[in-house]
Amino acid sequence: MATNKPSKSMPSALTFDLHSKCTTTKARASTLHLPHGSVPLPIFMPVATQASLKGLTYDQLRETGCMLCLNNTYHLGLKPGQAVLDAVGGAHRFQGWDRNILTDSGGFQMVSLLKLAKVTEEGVRFLSPHDGTPMLLTPEHSISLQNSIGSDIIMQLDDVIATTTPDAVRMQEAMERSVRWLDRCIDAHKYPERQNLFCIIQGGLDLDLRRRCCEEMVARDTPGIAIGGLSGGEAKDEYCKVVDTCTGLLPDSKPRYVMGVVSLSLILIFNKRIAHQGQGYPEDLVVSVALGADMFDCVWPTRTARFGNAITPHGVIHLRNIAFANDFAPIQQDCTCPCCRPKSAGGLGITRAFCHHLVAKETVGAHLLTMHNVHYQLSLMNSIRQAILDDRYPAFLLDFFDKYYGSRQNSPQWAVDALRGVGVDLLHDIKIDT
């Protein structure tokens, strides 16, 4: 596949300031300047699928300090629809959000959520979930929808297949088609001066395909670069190898976005666990940052809240458990979110016992836990960033795994191996020469 680099660089509506790189790992601290405000990186982006974050108002989301959230192109294209978005002037006005928005292309939903979807060179053919009408999503239509949404970051339409597919020929086809579709997205993009188009690296778990795709995508010189096609059922060690390989081939001068991070299947499995399990999303974040990634999204913090789960530095606690019925401590000690903050400090002073009472039958319980979980994720990213700026990220990692798992000795093997590869030994307080 020959490189087809455009003769001119794509206009960019962002600037990217790289402030600091960890001297041990590949972690980076930077600032992404977008049309609706500056975004500190690394960042976790809450997912407001249908222009609404489940469980929070936008005023409450602002209070967390969130500067960038996600909307879903597929869902907004169906409802309210492109005509309404054009009439109102885009999603920012439609939902009353004056900060940044990133939209996906809609391709993942076509393939993963809809029956009888068929991918061809033209685009993705599927049946409307409303009336069964045959529909076609092309790279051009995806970009047109995102132009109408007016998001600050828009994603190319890519050919998405599960990382675990055994069909090597189909995997290569998907990678090469994603490159061709990027060229069509670039040509269709009407507003590059105010919306930033990110390419998406594909190739499944085949590192050679990933390397080839990186070369092709970097040549297109889009304002940012995403690593896609992960969290599709692959083992965590395989995920880490892909992220590590890709970030090693990407320019320092552009933001790096790892899409999805935790799959829906893993979320559903996790939500069936009882309590205090050292599994979940935060360790994926801290390891992925160490591997050189900057941006992440996932529905997990809000979805797991609706199952009665609260994220804390000491693991995830399942507040439906009867053990919390008489626990009058805050959800998380020293947390500054509105739920945990005492009333004397302007918070709600919510206790674990009250959450236990609510989560079994009252929707306000999910609301309170969503508020806490989103705050936790964003606070974690702020702490990660500061540790990188202070060049103490390896020490931060040791402390994180000590707390989250009760002891670093209990850390999952995939995390131990991934961090060892970038110079951090979780099991011994030594720096590894890599």
106 is in an annotated binding site: yes
Rounded-to-integer distance, Cα 30 and Cα 21, Å: 9
In sequence order, the 6+-apart residues with CB closer than 8 A to the CB of 32 are 14, 15, 16, 38, 39, 40, 41, 43, 68, 255, 294
The kind and range of the H/E element at 200 are strand 196-201
Q: HEC profile for 59-86?
A: HHHHHCCCCEEEECHHHHHHHHHHHHHH
Structure tokens at 356: 């236990």
The kind and range of the H/E element at 32 are strand 28-34
Bridge partners, 124 (sequence order): 119, 137
In sequence order, the 6+-apart residues with CB closer than 8 A to the CB of 373 are 301, 302, 304, 305, 309, 310, 311
229 is in an annotated binding site: yes
Residue 17 annotated as catalytic: no
Please give the backbone phi and psi of residue 226, each rounded to the nearest 5 degrees, phi first: -110, 150
104 is in an annotated binding site: yes
Question: Catalytic residue among 98, 104, 167, 183, which?
Answer: 104
Question: Catalytic residue among 152, 167, 297, 391, which?
Answer: 297
Rounded-to-integer distance, Cα 434 and Cα 432, Å: 6
409 is in an annotated binding site: no
108 is in an annotated binding site: yes
Structure tokens at 315: 């693991």
337 is in an annotated binding site: yes
* Residue 228 DSSP class: -
**Whether the bond into 35 is cis, omega within 30 of 0:** no
75 is in an annotated binding site: no
* Residue 331 DSSP class: S
365 is in an annotated binding site: no
354 is in an annotated binding site: no
335 is in an annotated binding site: yes
Sign of CA dihedral 266, 268, 269, 271: positive
406 is in an annotated binding site: no
Contact 192, 178 (CB under 8 A): no
Shortest CA distance to 326 belongs to which of 350, 357, 348, 305?
A: 357
Residue 252 annotated as catalytic: no
314 is in an annotated binding site: no
Instruction: Quickly list DSSP for 233-251.
Output: S--HHHHHHHHHHHHTTS-
- Annotated binding residues for substrate, written as ranges, equal 104-108, 158, 202, 229
- Annotated binding residues for Zn(2+), written as ranges, equal 335, 337, 340, 372
- Annotated binding residues, written as ranges, equal 104-108, 158, 202, 229, 335, 337, 340, 372
| Catalytic residue set | 104, 297
